[in-house]
Amino acid sequence: RKEVEQDPGPFNVPEGATVAFNCTYSNSASQSFFWYRQDCRKEPKLLMSVYSSGNEDGRFTAQLNRASQYISLLIRDSKLSDSATYLCVVRGSSASKIIFGSGTRLSIRP
Amino acid sequence: NAGVTQTPKFRVLKTGQSMTLLCAQDMNHEYMYWYRQDPGMGLRLIHYSVGEGTTAKGEVPDGYNVSRLKKQNFLLGLESAAPSQTSVYFCASRNADGSNYGYTFGSGTRLTVV
């Protein structure tokens, strides 16, 4: 079993739709959680951190469920510009213990 | 503020050649990392450094060496390139203060070994 697992997609949804991704992690001692966005042939960029109480940034909502060991990302009113690959990132206590998921590809159609 | 700068952006090597990838950051970050990204594999950690003069192995260190002689620079070396090292290489850095902030990545180096 991979330490961080994501559905690779692709998710193909119409503009304006709401879409949600989950990411599961295996290490219960994981401490920090992030969602990154990666455009084709570009570097990953931080989309948002994921806090225990859940957090929202505009159209994006991230949640953490420690009991079930998953994090989620919800995108409301999706835009064409949201088309990208979304990477789940889980960090442990040590500097090296950072695991990237393989990413979920999202494509928004007009 | 440039952030994290990687050079070169593209390179084609012949099998057996050597090269060095340079990563430079101007954010005074303590931690620096080298990753490779292959299709369907996600980002895999090659080597990392928690401070000037220190380096450590990551998940896939074989065939690579690194050095961190200055805090702002982290070099990745390939002594004898192999086709299996064809990949996109990303450098990243972050603070060591335990904050909940993520990494800053460089724009990547696309390496092809023929």
Report the chain B residue with the minimal C-alpha distance to residue A87.
Answer: B42
Which letter does DSSP use for residue A89 in this model?
E
In this structure, of A15-29, A43-57, B11-25, B89-103, the range with the lowest mean pLDDT score is B89-103
Q: Would the CB atoms of A43 and B107 count as touching at under 8 Å?
A: yes
Residue A5 has pLDDT above 70, yes or no: yes
Given a cut of 70, whether residue B100 has pLDDT beyond it is no
CA distance B102 to chain A (A): 7
Q: What is the mean pLDDT of residues B19-47?
A: 93
Residues 6+ apart with CB under 8 A from B62: none
Nearest to A43 among B42, B50, B106 (CB): B106
Confidence of residue B96 (pLDDT cuts 50, 70, 90): confident
Give me the mean pLDDT over the A75-84 stretch.
Answer: 97
d(CA B47, CA B26): 20
Nearest-neighbour CA in chain A from B28: distance (Å)? 16
Widest pairwise Cα distance in chain B? 42
- Interface test mutation site (partner A, options B43, B44, B49, B60, max chain A beta carbons within 10 A): B43
Q: Mean pLDDT, to the nearest integer, of A43-47?
A: 93
Mean pLDDT of B32-55: 92
What pLDDT was estimated at residue A91? Answer: 87
**Which H/E stretch holds residue A104?**
strand A104-109
Which is more confidently placed, B2 or A18? A18
pLDDT in tens, A18-41: 999 999 999 888 888 999 999 998
Kindly determine whether residue B40 and residue A8, on different chains, have CB atoms separated by under 8 Å.
Answer: yes
- CB A89, CB A36: distance < 8 Å: yes
Cis peptide before A8 (omega within 30 of 0): no
Interchain contact, A49 vs B108, CB within 8 Å: no
pLDDT band at A70 (very low <50, low <70, confident <90, very high): very high
Q: Are the beta carbons of B102 and A103 separated by less than 8 Å?
A: no
Is B1's pLDDT higher than 70? Answer: no
Assigned token pair, A71: 């994090």
Section B5-12 average pLDDT: 96
Query: Pick from A56, A76, A50, A52: which is nearest to A66 by CA?
Result: A52
- Interface residues of chain B, partner chain A, Cβ below 8 Å: 31, 33, 35, 40-45, 48, 50, 56, 58, 90, 96, 100-108
The CA distances from residue A72 to A14, A98, B20, B54, B61, in Å, are 20, 18, 38, 35, 31
A79: closest CA of chain B, how far (Å):
24
* pLDDT interval class at A93 (50, 70, 90): confident
Which of B40, B41, B90 is closest, CB to CB, to A43? Answer: B90
Grouping H, G, I as helix, E, B as strand and the rest as coil, residue A74 is: strand
Residue A87 to residue B43, Cβ atoms within 8 A = yes
Q: What is the pLDDT of residue A51?
A: 87
